[in-house]
Structure 1
Amino acid sequence: MLSLILIGGSIFASCRKQIAVQSIPNMPVNYTIYDNSAQAIKLAKEGMLSITNVEVENTAIGYGGLLVVSRTITPSAEDLAYDLSCPYEVKQDVRVRPSKDNSFAVRCPVCGSVFNVAENGGAPIAGPAASSNSPRRMRQYRVIRQPDGIRIIN
Protein backbone atom coordinates (compact mmCIF):
# COMPACT_ATOMS: atom_id res chain seq x y z
CA MET A 1 0.00 0.00 0.00
CA LEU A 2 2.81 2.40 0.89
CA SER A 3 4.47 1.73 -2.47
CA LEU A 4 1.24 2.67 -4.30
CA ILE A 5 1.09 5.97 -2.42
CA LEU A 6 4.73 6.72 -3.23
CA ILE A 7 4.26 5.86 -6.92
CA GLY A 8 1.08 7.97 -7.14
CA GLY A 9 2.81 10.89 -5.43
CA SER A 10 5.79 10.75 -7.77
CA ILE A 11 3.53 10.63 -10.84
CA PHE A 12 1.56 13.63 -9.56
CA ALA A 13 4.74 15.57 -8.79
CA SER A 14 6.19 14.88 -12.24
CA CYS A 15 3.01 16.13 -13.97
CA ARG A 16 3.00 19.53 -12.29
CA LYS A 17 3.61 22.54 -14.47
CA GLN A 18 6.72 24.54 -13.78
CA ILE A 19 5.83 27.83 -12.14
CA ALA A 20 7.91 30.82 -13.15
CA VAL A 21 9.82 32.42 -10.30
CA GLN A 22 9.83 36.20 -9.84
CA SER A 23 13.40 37.09 -8.93
CA ILE A 24 13.55 40.86 -9.57
CA PRO A 25 13.02 42.86 -6.34
CA ASN A 26 9.81 44.84 -6.08
CA MET A 27 10.87 48.49 -6.47
CA PRO A 28 8.75 51.62 -7.01
CA VAL A 29 7.59 52.34 -10.56
CA ASN A 30 5.85 55.55 -11.59
CA TYR A 31 6.65 56.85 -15.06
CA THR A 32 4.66 58.67 -17.75
CA ILE A 33 5.35 58.78 -21.48
CA TYR A 34 3.46 61.65 -23.09
CA ASP A 35 2.04 61.16 -26.61
CA ASN A 36 4.02 63.95 -28.30
CA SER A 37 7.33 63.32 -26.51
CA ALA A 38 10.53 62.08 -28.14
CA GLN A 39 10.10 58.84 -26.15
CA ALA A 40 6.62 58.22 -27.60
CA ILE A 41 7.87 58.85 -31.12
CA LYS A 42 10.79 56.43 -30.63
CA LEU A 43 8.46 53.80 -29.11
CA ALA A 44 6.07 54.05 -32.07
CA LYS A 45 8.93 53.84 -34.59
CA GLU A 46 11.00 51.05 -33.02
CA GLY A 47 8.35 49.05 -31.13
CA MET A 48 10.36 49.01 -27.89
CA LEU A 49 11.82 51.67 -25.62
CA SER A 50 14.42 51.28 -22.86
CA ILE A 51 14.41 53.79 -20.01
CA THR A 52 17.45 53.74 -17.73
CA ASN A 53 17.51 57.22 -16.21
CA VAL A 54 15.01 59.17 -14.14
CA GLU A 55 14.66 62.51 -15.92
CA VAL A 56 11.78 64.03 -13.96
CA GLU A 57 11.40 64.45 -10.20
CA ASN A 58 8.96 62.08 -8.46
CA THR A 59 9.31 59.34 -11.04
CA ALA A 60 10.63 55.82 -10.48
CA ILE A 61 11.79 53.21 -12.99
CA GLY A 62 11.94 49.98 -10.99
CA TYR A 63 15.03 47.88 -10.26
CA GLY A 64 17.04 48.10 -13.49
CA GLY A 65 15.01 50.47 -15.63
CA LEU A 66 11.96 50.07 -17.84
CA LEU A 67 11.34 48.25 -21.09
CA VAL A 68 8.18 49.52 -22.79
CA VAL A 69 6.70 47.47 -25.64
CA SER A 70 4.41 49.25 -28.10
CA ARG A 71 0.86 48.02 -28.62
CA THR A 72 1.65 48.02 -32.35
CA ILE A 73 3.69 44.81 -31.97
CA THR A 74 1.71 42.96 -29.27
CA PRO A 75 -1.04 40.47 -30.18
CA SER A 76 -3.26 41.99 -27.48
CA ALA A 77 -2.86 45.51 -28.96
CA GLU A 78 -1.91 46.80 -25.50
CA ASP A 79 1.25 48.57 -24.39
CA LEU A 80 3.34 46.43 -22.04
CA ALA A 81 6.13 47.29 -19.60
CA TYR A 82 8.81 45.22 -17.87
CA ASP A 83 11.85 45.71 -15.69
CA LEU A 84 14.99 45.84 -17.85
CA SER A 85 17.04 43.66 -15.47
CA CYS A 86 17.59 40.05 -16.47
CA PRO A 87 15.61 37.88 -14.03
CA TYR A 88 18.28 35.16 -14.21
CA GLU A 89 21.24 37.43 -13.41
CA VAL A 90 19.29 39.68 -10.96
CA LYS A 91 21.69 42.62 -11.18
CA GLN A 92 20.62 46.23 -11.76
CA ASP A 93 23.28 46.78 -14.40
CA VAL A 94 22.64 43.56 -16.37
CA ARG A 95 19.84 44.64 -18.68
CA VAL A 96 18.11 42.83 -21.51
CA ARG A 97 18.33 44.21 -25.04
CA PRO A 98 16.11 43.76 -28.09
CA SER A 99 16.96 40.55 -29.95
CA LYS A 100 18.21 40.94 -33.50
CA ASP A 101 16.60 37.58 -34.40
CA ASN A 102 13.08 38.18 -33.10
CA SER A 103 11.12 41.42 -32.93
CA PHE A 104 9.06 40.08 -30.01
CA ALA A 105 12.02 39.09 -27.86
CA VAL A 106 14.78 40.52 -25.71
CA ARG A 107 18.08 38.85 -24.85
CA CYS A 108 20.38 39.09 -21.84
CA PRO A 109 23.94 39.95 -22.96
CA VAL A 110 25.44 38.03 -20.01
CA CYS A 111 23.57 34.70 -19.68
CA GLY A 112 22.02 34.62 -23.18
CA SER A 113 18.46 34.04 -21.95
CA VAL A 114 15.74 35.15 -24.37
CA PHE A 115 12.32 36.43 -23.23
CA ASN A 116 9.05 36.93 -25.12
CA VAL A 117 7.91 40.48 -24.32
CA ALA A 118 4.99 40.73 -26.75
CA GLU A 119 2.90 38.14 -24.89
CA ASN A 120 3.03 35.56 -22.08
CA GLY A 121 4.19 38.11 -19.51
CA GLY A 122 7.88 38.14 -20.38
CA ALA A 123 8.25 34.37 -20.22
CA PRO A 124 11.69 32.89 -20.95
CA ILE A 125 11.88 31.08 -24.30
CA ALA A 126 15.58 30.13 -24.39
CA GLY A 127 18.71 30.09 -22.26
CA PRO A 128 19.28 29.33 -18.60
CA ALA A 129 16.25 31.36 -17.45
CA ALA A 130 14.04 28.94 -19.43
CA SER A 131 15.89 25.70 -18.78
CA SER A 132 16.31 25.95 -15.02
CA ASN A 133 14.03 23.94 -12.72
CA SER A 134 12.20 27.15 -11.90
CA PRO A 135 11.92 29.35 -15.00
CA ARG A 136 12.38 33.05 -14.34
CA ARG A 137 10.09 35.46 -16.15
CA MET A 138 10.62 39.20 -16.44
CA ARG A 139 8.93 41.44 -13.87
CA GLN A 140 5.94 43.02 -15.58
CA TYR A 141 4.46 46.40 -14.64
CA ARG A 142 0.99 47.88 -15.19
CA VAL A 143 0.44 50.26 -18.10
CA ILE A 144 -2.48 52.66 -17.88
CA ARG A 145 -3.64 54.52 -20.98
CA GLN A 146 -4.34 58.18 -20.22
CA PRO A 147 -5.72 60.94 -22.48
CA ASP A 148 -2.23 62.39 -23.01
CA GLY A 149 -0.04 59.25 -22.95
CA ILE A 150 0.67 56.14 -20.90
CA ARG A 151 1.53 55.78 -17.23
CA ILE A 152 3.59 52.84 -15.97
CA ILE A 153 3.18 51.76 -12.35
CA ASN A 154 3.53 48.68 -10.16
Structure 2
Amino acid sequence: PRGSIPFAPVDFEIILNGLDHVLRNPLSFKVFTEQDRRFPEERFGFSGVVIVSSATANELYAYDLCCPHEKKREIKIAPRDDGTATCESCGSVFATIYGRGTVMQGPATEELQSYLVYPLPVQPGTFRVTNGVKFFYRLF
Protein backbone atom coordinates (compact mmCIF):
# COMPACT_ATOMS: atom_id res chain seq x y z
CA PRO A 1 0.00 0.00 0.00
CA ARG A 2 1.07 3.54 -0.70
CA GLY A 3 1.94 5.54 2.41
CA SER A 4 2.43 9.26 2.89
CA ILE A 5 6.20 9.48 2.45
CA PRO A 6 7.26 11.13 -0.81
CA PHE A 7 7.12 8.80 -3.79
CA ALA A 8 10.37 7.49 -5.28
CA PRO A 9 10.98 4.51 -7.57
CA VAL A 10 12.18 1.16 -6.22
CA ASP A 11 13.67 -1.42 -8.54
CA PHE A 12 16.62 -3.71 -7.79
CA GLU A 13 17.53 -7.36 -7.32
CA ILE A 14 18.82 -9.28 -4.33
CA ILE A 15 20.86 -12.46 -4.74
CA LEU A 16 20.54 -14.89 -1.84
CA ASN A 17 23.09 -17.28 -3.35
CA GLY A 18 25.68 -14.52 -3.60
CA LEU A 19 26.18 -10.96 -2.37
CA ASP A 20 23.04 -10.94 -0.21
CA HIS A 21 23.45 -14.36 1.45
CA VAL A 22 23.00 -12.86 4.93
CA LEU A 23 19.25 -12.65 4.17
CA ARG A 24 19.03 -16.45 4.23
CA ASN A 25 19.26 -16.27 8.04
CA PRO A 26 16.22 -15.76 10.30
CA LEU A 27 15.64 -12.17 11.49
CA SER A 28 18.44 -10.85 9.32
CA PHE A 29 18.36 -7.59 7.39
CA LYS A 30 20.34 -5.72 4.78
CA VAL A 31 20.16 -2.02 3.92
CA PHE A 32 20.36 -0.79 0.32
CA THR A 33 21.00 2.88 -0.51
CA GLU A 34 22.20 4.77 -3.57
CA GLN A 35 25.79 4.04 -2.49
CA ASP A 36 25.05 0.30 -2.82
CA ARG A 37 23.99 0.55 -6.45
CA ARG A 38 25.31 -2.39 -8.50
CA PHE A 39 23.78 -1.32 -11.82
CA PRO A 40 22.92 2.17 -13.11
CA GLU A 41 19.21 1.40 -13.43
CA GLU A 42 18.71 0.36 -9.78
CA ARG A 43 16.52 2.57 -7.58
CA PHE A 44 16.18 2.51 -3.79
CA GLY A 45 13.09 4.47 -2.80
CA PHE A 46 12.96 7.75 -0.93
CA SER A 47 15.55 7.12 1.82
CA GLY A 48 16.88 3.69 0.90
CA VAL A 49 15.41 0.23 1.42
CA VAL A 50 15.84 -2.39 4.12
CA ILE A 51 15.19 -6.04 3.27
CA VAL A 52 14.20 -8.14 6.28
CA SER A 53 13.92 -11.93 6.57
CA SER A 54 11.15 -13.44 8.65
CA ALA A 55 11.69 -15.39 11.89
CA THR A 56 11.81 -18.61 9.86
CA ALA A 57 13.78 -17.06 6.95
CA ASN A 58 11.16 -18.25 4.45
CA GLU A 59 9.79 -14.75 3.67
CA LEU A 60 11.46 -11.50 2.67
CA TYR A 61 9.98 -8.06 3.29
CA ALA A 62 11.07 -4.66 1.98
CA TYR A 63 10.54 -1.25 3.59
CA ASP A 64 11.64 2.30 2.86
CA LEU A 65 14.10 3.59 5.45
CA CYS A 66 12.11 6.82 5.80
CA CYS A 67 10.20 7.18 9.06
CA PRO A 68 6.53 7.83 8.18
CA HIS A 69 6.27 10.25 11.11
CA GLU A 70 9.29 12.37 10.13
CA LYS A 71 8.92 12.15 6.30
CA LYS A 72 12.47 13.44 5.73
CA ARG A 73 15.01 11.70 3.48
CA GLU A 74 17.86 12.13 5.94
CA ILE A 75 15.98 10.76 8.98
CA LYS A 76 16.01 6.99 8.76
CA ILE A 77 14.86 3.98 10.69
CA ALA A 78 17.56 1.73 12.10
CA PRO A 79 16.76 -1.99 11.68
CA ARG A 80 17.70 -4.41 14.47
CA ASP A 81 18.19 -8.16 14.56
CA ASP A 82 15.13 -8.66 16.77
CA GLY A 83 12.66 -7.98 13.94
CA THR A 84 12.12 -4.31 14.73
CA ALA A 85 13.36 -0.95 13.47
CA THR A 86 13.60 2.32 15.39
CA CYS A 87 13.50 5.88 14.08
CA GLU A 88 16.71 7.65 15.01
CA SER A 89 14.85 10.95 15.50
CA CYS A 90 11.36 10.44 16.97
CA GLY A 91 12.02 7.06 18.62
CA SER A 92 9.08 5.27 16.97
CA VAL A 93 9.49 1.48 16.86
CA PHE A 94 8.16 -0.67 14.00
CA ALA A 95 7.71 -4.45 13.65
CA THR A 96 9.46 -5.55 10.46
CA ILE A 97 9.22 -9.36 10.49
CA TYR A 98 5.55 -9.74 9.55
CA GLY A 99 5.48 -7.81 6.27
CA ARG A 100 3.48 -4.81 7.45
CA GLY A 101 5.93 -2.50 9.23
CA THR A 102 3.36 -1.85 11.94
CA VAL A 103 3.91 0.72 14.67
CA MET A 104 4.79 -0.86 18.01
CA GLN A 105 5.54 2.41 19.79
CA GLY A 106 4.79 6.00 18.66
CA PRO A 107 4.64 8.88 18.05
CA ALA A 108 4.31 7.42 14.51
CA THR A 109 0.77 6.30 13.64
CA GLU A 110 1.42 5.06 10.09
CA GLU A 111 3.09 1.81 8.99
CA LEU A 112 6.41 1.82 7.19
CA GLN A 113 6.19 2.13 3.40
CA SER A 114 6.47 -1.44 2.14
CA TYR A 115 7.55 -2.69 -1.27
CA LEU A 116 6.98 -5.87 -3.25
CA VAL A 117 9.58 -8.67 -3.13
CA TYR A 118 9.14 -11.54 -5.57
CA PRO A 119 11.32 -14.42 -6.82
CA LEU A 120 12.67 -14.48 -10.35
CA PRO A 121 11.80 -17.97 -11.63
CA VAL A 122 14.64 -18.17 -14.15
CA GLN A 123 17.24 -17.30 -11.50
CA PRO A 124 16.82 -19.40 -8.32
CA GLY A 125 17.74 -17.45 -5.20
CA THR A 126 17.28 -14.10 -6.95
CA PHE A 127 14.47 -11.71 -6.02
CA ARG A 128 13.26 -8.40 -7.43
CA VAL A 129 12.30 -5.57 -5.10
CA THR A 130 9.96 -3.02 -6.66
CA ASN A 131 7.13 -0.56 -6.30
CA GLY A 132 6.11 -1.19 -9.89
CA VAL A 133 7.99 1.71 -11.50
CA LYS A 134 10.52 0.81 -14.20
CA PHE A 135 13.16 3.02 -15.74
CA PHE A 136 14.43 2.32 -19.22
CA TYR A 137 17.79 3.48 -20.51
CA ARG A 138 19.17 3.53 -24.02
CA LEU A 139 22.58 1.91 -24.21
CA PHE A 140 23.40 3.63 -27.52
The structure where strand makes up a greater share of residues is 2
- 2:87 counterpart of 1:113: no
Equivalence for 2:134: none
Q: Which has the higher Rg, Structure 1 or Structure 2?
A: 1
**1:92-116 deviations in whole A, cap 9, x for unaligned?**
111111247xx11100111000001
Equivalence for 1:124: 103
8 Å contact 1:74–1:119 — kept in the other structure? no
The structure where helix makes up a greater share of residues is 1
Equivalence for 2:136: none
Pick the aligned partner of 2:68 from 78, 87, 91.
Answer: 87
Aligned ranges 1:1-154 → 2 under 5 Å: 22-38=3-19, 40-45=20-25, 47-53=28-34, 54-71=37-54, 73=55, 77-99=58-80, 103-119=82-98, 121-129=100-108, 135-146=109-120, 147-148=123-124, 149-154=126-131
Distance 2:40 2:89 in 1: 31
Task: Name the Cα RMSD after superposition.
Answer: 2.1
**1:24-58 deviations in whole A, cap 9, x for unaligned?**
122111010123322x1232346111111233111
- Classify the secondary structure of the residue corresponding to 2:100: helix
